[in-house]
């Protein structure tokens, strides 16, 4: 059946809930530190989180690549290859996580030698990072497992994984920070434990899905097929390009955090809190991008240009509408929300001053997030890589000129240019994607199709 607006909403609602729970955990981090600490604690978590994001989000390709390859195999009716994708990605994720865990002290030493913050901020940031990094092997393996479930359209199962992570994280935040006074280290430990809890639930849900598929398909565990060189080469090519693309985003967000640090501790703390609001809206809107990944991947597996166009339109319409609503809500109620989570007066004043910049991101960023989903689902890694490199270069040039001239307002203006550049670069590449698929059916062939 053709994709409809109603079916998109049905597929998206579990992911909206799931994605919203993740930044809510970040909001809880900020809330407990705002109540028990000061701007140095908030700034430390901002810098420590920026450093960790280099490793967490550098390997987010495990989720994206797994979703795209799984959706394409599912669209082509190849259950066995979808299951092999699961095995390959999960092993890669677990091994990468363990390797990084072994060099955690070197990461902390090198990272805080580069990032710019006061000694007190860097001390708190290191405590947070060294506690949280113990969850890295779990979250990287969970990336692969959740990516596989999303690729199959198993969005309710994905919701459960994210909900478990957030519930455990938020509960332990209050216990460790407000109960035991552990500060940023307690926030990091809470997140690490939550990541292991999420992995346990992800494994259980994947196993249940495999049983519903009738167990492992024929020859899935065959060594020669599992280590098939063309399949491994495709997995490597897709993931390598996605990793470079993700690095460009990590560079952008790390640069934003460091640019705020150059404006002072209050600006750094205020920017960090506003970034949690952006992250909340981005995760919610990403639910539609995840549906776009699955549907674009299936369309690509069927080599159908018409199905790809319909996937873009059906997922894009609610995404832009929701982005506009979130922008208005942020402008109307942002001041009150910030007053609830920030006790430090200087940090609160900074956050309120720059709130209007934050408010427009959900709408301006919707195009970038939607096209991300389309190109991820079609495993167009080279396009994503090239667009990411171009966008971050545009952002760095904008920040170079705007930040010195307009201080933190310039930092935010350049950050918005980053979102616009991401969407524009991918939009320019979209016609090339369509040319790789079959032509759309003629009008007479589509007259009988139901409308949404």
Nearest-Å Rg of the Cα atoms of the chain is 22
Alpha carbon distance 76, 80 (integer Å): 11
Average pLDDT per consecutive 10 residues, the chain (452 residues; last block may be shorter)? 80 79 67 71 76 76 85 85 89 88 82 72 83 89 91 87 88 87 86 93 94 85 77 78 85 86 84 86 87 89 88 93 94 89 82 93 94 91 93 96 93 96 95 78 43 36
Copy the structure tokens of residue 334: 């942002």
pLDDT of residue 431: 92
- Could you give the 3-state DSSP secondary structure of residue 98? helix
Contact 101, 136 (CB under 8 A): yes
Q: How far is CA 396 from CA 159, 332, 388, in A?
A: 36, 31, 12
The per-residue DSSP string of 313-367 comes to HHHHHHHHHHHHHHHHHHHHHHHHHHHHH---HHHHHHHHHTHHHHHTHHHHTHH
Of 207, 265, 363, whose CA–CA distance to 41 is shortest? 265
Of 408, 289, 429, 413, whose CA–CA distance to 352 is shortest? 408
* C-alpha torsion sign, points 25, 249, 185, 412: negative
pLDDT of residue 238: 81
Alpha carbon distance 209, 82 (integer Å): 12
pLDDT of residue 203: 95
Distance of CA 47 to the CA centre of its chain: 18
Alpha carbon distance 224, 250 (integer Å): 36
Alpha carbon distance 437, 28 (integer Å): 45
Contact 164, 198 (CB under 8 A): yes
Look-up of token digits 């949690």: 276
Q: How far is CA 363 from CA 32, 214, 320, 369, in A?
A: 29, 43, 6, 10
Q: What's phi and psi for 304, nearest 5 deg?
A: -110, 110
pLDDT of residue 416: 96
Residues, the chain, total?
452
Alpha carbon distance 341, 31 (integer Å): 5
Alpha carbon distance 412, 67 (integer Å): 32
Which residues does 236 contact at the CB level (< 8 Å), separation at least 6?
none
Alpha carbon distance 82, 89 (integer Å): 11
Copy the structure tokens of residue 186: 């307690």
Contact 184, 48 (CB under 8 A): yes
């Amino acid at each position: 059946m053709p994709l409809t607006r109603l079916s998109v909403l049905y597929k998206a609602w579990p992911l909206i809930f799931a994605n919203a729970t993740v930044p809510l955990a970040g909001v809880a981090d900020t809330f407990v530190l705002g109540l028990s600490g000061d701007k140095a604690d908030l700034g430390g978590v901002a810098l420590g989180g920026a450093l960790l994001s280099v490793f967490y989000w550098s390997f987010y390709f495990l989720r994206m690549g797994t979703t795209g390859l799984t959706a394409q195999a599912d669209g082509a009716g190849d259950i066995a290859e979808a299951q092999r994708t699961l095995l390959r990605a999960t092993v890669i994720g677990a091994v990468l996580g363990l390797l990084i865990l072994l060099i955690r002290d070197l990461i902390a030493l090198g990272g805080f030698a580069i990032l710019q913050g006061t000694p007190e901020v860097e001390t708190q940031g290191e405590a947070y990072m060294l506690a949280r990094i113990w969850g890295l092997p779990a979250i990287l393996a969970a990336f692969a497992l959740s990516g596989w479930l999303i690729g199959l359209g198993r969005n309710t199962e994905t919701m459960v994984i994210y909900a478990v992570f957030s519930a455990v994280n938020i509960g332990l935040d209050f216990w460790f920070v407000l109960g035991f006074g552990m500060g940023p280290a307690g926030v990091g430990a809470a997140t690490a434990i939550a990541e292991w809890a999420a992995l346990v639930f992800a494994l259980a849900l994947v196993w249940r899905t495999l049983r519903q598929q009738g167990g492992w398909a024929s020859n899935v565990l065959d060594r020669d097929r599992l280590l098939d060189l063309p399949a491994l080469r495709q997995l490597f090519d897709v993931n390598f390009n996605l990793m470079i693309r993700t690095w460009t985003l990590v560079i952008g967000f790390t640069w934003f955090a460091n640019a705020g640090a150059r404006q002072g501790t209050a600006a750094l703390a205020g920017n960090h809190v506003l970034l949690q609001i952006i992250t909340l809206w981005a995760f919610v809107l990403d639910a539609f991008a995840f549906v776009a990944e699955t549907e674009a991947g299936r369309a690509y597996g069927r080599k159908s240009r018409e199905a790809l166009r319909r996937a873009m339109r059906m997922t894009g319409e609610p995404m832009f509408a929701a982005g506009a609503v979130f922008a208005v809500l942020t402008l109307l109620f942002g001041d009150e929300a910030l007053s609830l989570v920030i006790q430090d007066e200087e940090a609160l004043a900074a956050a309120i001053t720059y709130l209007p910049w934050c408010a427009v991101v959900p709408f301006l960023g919707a195009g970038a997030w939607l096209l991300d989903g389309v190109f991820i689902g079609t495993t167009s890694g080279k396009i994503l890589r090239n667009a990411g490199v171009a966008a971050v270069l545009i952002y760095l040039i904008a920040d170079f000129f705007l930040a010195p001239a307009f201080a933190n307002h310039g930092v935010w203006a350049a950050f918005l240019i980053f979102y616009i550049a991401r969407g524009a670069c991918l939009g320019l590449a979209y016609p090339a994607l369509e040319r790789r698929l079959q032509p759309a059916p003629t009008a007479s062939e589509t007259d009988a199709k139901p409308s949404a």
